[in-house]
Amino acid sequence: QVEGLAYLSSFLWKSQRLGLWSRPRGENLLDSGAPFYETYKTSDGKFMAVGAIEPQFYHQLIKGLGLDASKLPGQMSHSYWPEMKQKFASIFAQKTQDEWCSIFDGTDACVTPVLSFDDVASHQHNKQRSSFIKNEQGEISPRPAPVLSRTPAVPSFKRDPIIGEHTEEILLEYGFTKQEITKLYSDKVIEFSKPKANL
């Protein structure tokens, strides 16, 4: 597992030479050091995520914030990043999340709302794409993905099984006898659990 984790961090190791992770924690391009790759609190206590790395997206961000790019330091001027983060934070704090969504909707600014679990399934984008489904008990979960045109996954609207609900059925299917299953149960090797009726 340690080796797997080390391998997964290859990007971090390799990008040090590119300058992406060469500074102390919290001062790099992708670890909240850059003002254009950060989350900002809105006036209603919610958040907006900003990921405007490419210059064309950064330009849209600056425009949406109502700033004049010609009066700002260069996007990659590291020494100005703390000052720019404060400036961005103060501007984002002046409007609600919904107001910022209206400003940035339809742009390439790479600015999106940070949604709560309660809000994510009802977000317009997710509703249009049917990204979430509701089971028989009203529990919401993501729809299977990707949605393939020739062999689309068929979502199940049934509840998840309870641990132990199908133990006996599966053991019988694999050739265990009723006596063997009873012994496994009495030895506390397996457990049974039947769902309770919702009255």
CATH number, domain of 59, equals 3.30.1540.10
**Residue 177 or 33, more confident:** 177
Burial class (CB in 10 A: 0-12, 13-18, 19+), 188: exposed
**Residue 125 or 86, more confident:** 86
Give a yes or no: residue 101 inside a domain: yes
Question: The domain containing residue 50 runs over which residues?
Answer: 32-120
Instruction: Tell me the Ramachandran region of residue 192: left when phi exceeds 0, alpha when psi lies from -120 to 50, beta otherwise.
Output: beta
Q: What is the largest CA-CA distance in the chain?
A: 82
Q: Please give the helix or strand (H or E) that residue 82 lies within, else none.
A: helix 81-92
Number of domains in the chain: 2
Strand partners, 47: 41, 114
The mean per-residue pLDDT over the stretch 43-63 comes to 97
28-37, 45-54, 70-79: the lowest-pLDDT one: 28-37
The mean per-residue pLDDT over the stretch 122-138 comes to 86
Instruction: Give, in order, the Cα–Cα distances in Å from 43 to each of 46, 48, 93, 133.
Output: 7, 11, 5, 31
Does 110 share its domain with 171? no
Does 113 share its domain with 187? no
Which of these three, 92, 120, 148, is where a domain ends?
120
Give a yes or no: residue 85 inside a domain: yes
**Rounded Cα–Cα distance for residues 18 and 77 (Å):** 16
Report the percentage of the chain scoring pLDDT > 70.
95
Q: Kindly state the DSSP code that residue 40 receives in the 8-state scheme.
A: E
CB 120 within 8 A of CB 132: yes
Nearest to 48 by CA among 64, 68, 26: 64
The predicted model scores a pTM of 0.69
